[in-house]
């Protein structure tokens, strides 16, 4: 009966909100803890709320205001300018199989409205993390008093352990007048890497700064880099993905 369903919805929401908060803390590290009974409750919750007003509470995305001129080369989005299916942890609720688009320049996560007419930008402060193109982005909050080089925003989680590795993906629009048609506007991607150690974030600029951050295992790190022929100057991303887990394994 309909009134029975309406009674069950608040009870389901209470269960879901309490359980999902704990679940979300471990989701990135260990999805095996997601039990069949819990997932059934999550699915039922989303089914009752479809279309889910809790997710579609953002404002309209003004692309023409952000980018009033034509970009000749590149685009402001992560990987592609097309929506791709991902997941987002929003307002302490996990939403799966959601078409997402990440505007790197504005640092905003976009979704389509339920009617597929408008593009909405989610409230950044309500986003815990999201996954798109197989990559996980976590919203980190800066402490400018102790980390002046670290800014609040979304960071690509490359490795999560006792010591963690993050990449801040940034894009900027540049221009030149080399084109026969006039000014040419193009997008340049810039990546900055941070290591979280003992609850502090340290920027990895080069090999020297990396060794300074992991200085308690300096000898072992230098040997590991040399043995595996890692080059931070040519491929910082791949080198750090190998070095940080190695450090975590020997750091006691």
Q: Is position 9 within any domain? A: yes
> pLDDT tens digits, residue range 177-196?
765 667 889 999 999 999 99
Q: Is position 13 within any domain? A: yes
Q: Which pLDDT score is estimated for 30?
A: 53
Q: Is position 46 within any domain? A: yes
Q: Residue 215: pLDDT above 50?
A: yes
Q: Which pLDDT score is estimated for 1?
A: 36
Average pLDDT value over all residues in the chain: 82
Q: Is position 33 within any domain? A: yes
> pLDDT tens digits, residue range 122-181?
999 999 999 999 999 999 998 765 677 789 999 999 999 999 999 999 999 998 876 566
Q: Is position 35 within any domain? A: yes
Q: Residue 243: pLDDT above 50?
A: yes
C-alpha span between 227 and 240 (Å, rounded):
14
Domain that holds residue 1: 1-50
Ordered DSSP codes for 231-247: -TTT-HHHHHHHHHHHH
Q: Residue 244: pLDDT above 50?
A: yes
C-alpha span between 234 and 225 (Å, rounded):
13
Domain count, the chain: 1
Mean pLDDT of 67-85: 93
Torsion over CA: 152, 157, 160, 163 (sign): negative
Q: Is position 41 within any domain? A: yes
Q: Residue 51: pLDDT above 50?
A: no
Q: Is position 208 within any domain? A: no
Q: Residue 85: pLDDT above 70?
A: yes
User: What percent of the chain is modeled with pLDDT above 90?
Assistant: 62
Residue 227 vs residue 17, higher pLDDT: 227
Q: Which pLDDT score is estimated for 12?
A: 44
Mean pLDDT of 1-11: 37
Q: Are strands 135-140 and 59-60 parallel, antiparallel or unpaired?
A: unpaired
Q: Residue 199: pLDDT above 60?
A: yes
Q: Which pLDDT score is estimated for 144?
A: 61
Q: How far is CA 217 from CA 170, 204, 212, 235, in A?
A: 31, 16, 10, 22
Residue 46 vs residue 153, higher pLDDT: 153
User: What percent of the chain is modeled with pLDDT above 70?
Assistant: 75
């Amino acid at each position: 009966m309909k009134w029975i369903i309406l009674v069950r919805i608040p009870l389901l929401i209470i269960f879901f909100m309490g359980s999902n908060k704990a679940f979300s803390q471990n989701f990135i590290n260990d999805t095996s803890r997601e039990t069949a009974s819990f997932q059934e409750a999550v699915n039922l919750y989303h089914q009752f709320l479809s279309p889910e007003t809790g997710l579609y509470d953002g404002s309209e995305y003004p692309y023409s205001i952000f980018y009033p001129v034509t970009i000749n080369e590149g685009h402001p989005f992560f990987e592609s300018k097309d929506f791709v299916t991902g997941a987002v942890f929003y307002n302490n609720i996990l939403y799966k199989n959601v078409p997402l688009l990440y505007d790197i320049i504005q640092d905003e996560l976009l979704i389509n409205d339920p009617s597929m007419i408008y593009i909405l930008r989610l409230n950044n402060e309500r986003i815990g993390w999201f996954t798109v193109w197989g990559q996980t982005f976590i919203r980190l909050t800066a402490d400018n008093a102790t980390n002046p080089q670290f800014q609040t925003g979304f960071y690509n989680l490359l490795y999560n352990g006792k010591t963690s590795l993050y990449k801040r993906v940034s894009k900027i629009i540049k221009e030149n007048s080399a084109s026969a048609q006039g000014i040419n506007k193009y997008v340049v991607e810039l990546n900055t890497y941070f290591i979280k150690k003992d609850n502090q974030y340290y920027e990895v600029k080069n090999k020297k700064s990396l060794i300074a951050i992991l200085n308690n295992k300096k000898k072992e790190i230098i040997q590991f880099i040399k043995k595996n022929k890692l080059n931070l100057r040519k491929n910082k991303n791949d080198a750090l993905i190998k070095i940080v887990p190695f450090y975590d394994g020997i750091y006691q």
